[in-house]
């Protein structure tokens, strides 16, 4: 059963299995793909003439990779070239790789700080930024027309579609190391607590700090679709354990 798909800040979100279904993900992706197809054909567009690469990624929520593969299948059917991150990936990393690889856009399955029962689809344009309301209104119009036409696709069994993958970490690390003075961090010889909140940040923030010589105590560095029973948000509740550790004077 399809429902109205509306893009808010940074994308479209819904409750998993009620609103955020594979059928709706395919539908939303087809709307995005049609918009990208139009831009590729427009000589005035910033992506005109580019290779039709679209970066795909996902966070640690339920079925993130499977939703991404469903999107990849739709993009492929329309002649675009999806490229999937090889594991759950932070949003800024996906954004950077859209830019550095000269992709025409990106689709990231994430519901940001929303509770675990939510999932989302974030569409970013070629500059790595979230699509503007001007763009998402055009995509919504295409989706509405697809719904009116009862559009569907003959899809593979969920999770079985094969999509090329890549490791987005090296390009991101190169950029971060240009921007951050890790030599100063190394000289400071700090003891630090790192709260990763069961999310995509593991082996990113902690690796960068450890490589810089910081002595780390890491909390919740394993993926958990339920985020330990908390909202995946760095508020007082979300960082309570790490905060208590710091206040105890152990770091």
Active site residues: 112
The answer to whether residues 39 and 48 touch, using CB atoms and an 8 Å cutoff, is yes
Tell me the sheet residues that pair with 109: 58, 121
Distance CA(191)–CA(121), nearest Å, equals 37
Grouping H, G, I as helix, E, B as strand and the rest as coil, residue 93 is: helix
Calpha distance 116→168 (Å, rounded)? 25
Contacts of 188-193 with C-beta under 8 Å, sequence gap 24+, read: 189/213, 189/214, 189/215, 190/214, 190/215, 191/215, 191/216, 191/217, 191/251, 192/216, 192/217, 192/251, 193/217, 193/218, 193/219, 193/242, 193/245, 193/246, 193/251
User: Which is it for the CA torsion 8, 32, 68, 160, positive or negative?
Assistant: positive
Give 220's strand partners.
Answer: none
Which structure tokens are listed for 59? 């966070």
The answer to whether 31 and 146 have CB atoms below 8 angstroms apart is: yes
Q: Where are the alpha helices (DSSP H) in the chain?
A: 22-41, 64-77, 91-100, 133-148, 169-179, 182-188, 205-211, 240-247
Could you tell me the sign of the dihedral formed by the alpha carbons of 126, 8, 152, 18, in that order?
positive
């Amino acid at each position: 059963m399809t429902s109205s798909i509306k893009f808010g800040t940074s994308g479209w979100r819904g409750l998993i299995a009620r609103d955020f279904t594979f059928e709706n993900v395919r539908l939303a992706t087809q709307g995005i793909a049609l918009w990208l197809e139009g831009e590729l054909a427009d000589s005035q567009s910033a992506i005109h003439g580019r290779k039709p690469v679209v970066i795909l990624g996902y966070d640690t929520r339920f079925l993130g990779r499977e939703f991404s593969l469903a999107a990849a299948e739709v993009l492929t059917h329309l002649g675009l070239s999806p490229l999937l991150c090889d594991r759950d990936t932070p949003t800024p990393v996906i954004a950077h790789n859209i830019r550095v690889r000269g992709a025409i856009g990106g689709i990231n399955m994430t519901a940001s700080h929303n509770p675990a029962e939510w999932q989302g689809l974030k569409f970013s344009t070629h500059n790595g930024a979230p699509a503007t309301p001007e763009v998402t209104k055009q995509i919504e119009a295409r989706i509405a027309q697809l719904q009116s036409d009862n559009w569907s696709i003959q899809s593979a069994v969920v999770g079985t579609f094969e999509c090329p993958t890549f490791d987005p970490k090296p390009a991101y690390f190169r950029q971060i190391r240009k921007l951050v003075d890790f030599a100063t961090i190394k000289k400071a010889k700090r003891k630090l607590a790192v709260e990763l909140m069961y999310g995509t940040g593991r082996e990113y923030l902690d690796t960068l700090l450890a490589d810089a010589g910081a002595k780390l105590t890491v909390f919740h560095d394993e993926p958990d679709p339920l985020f330990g029973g908390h909202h995946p948000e760095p508020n007082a509740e979300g960082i309570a354990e790490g905060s208590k550790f710091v206040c105890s004077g152990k770091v």
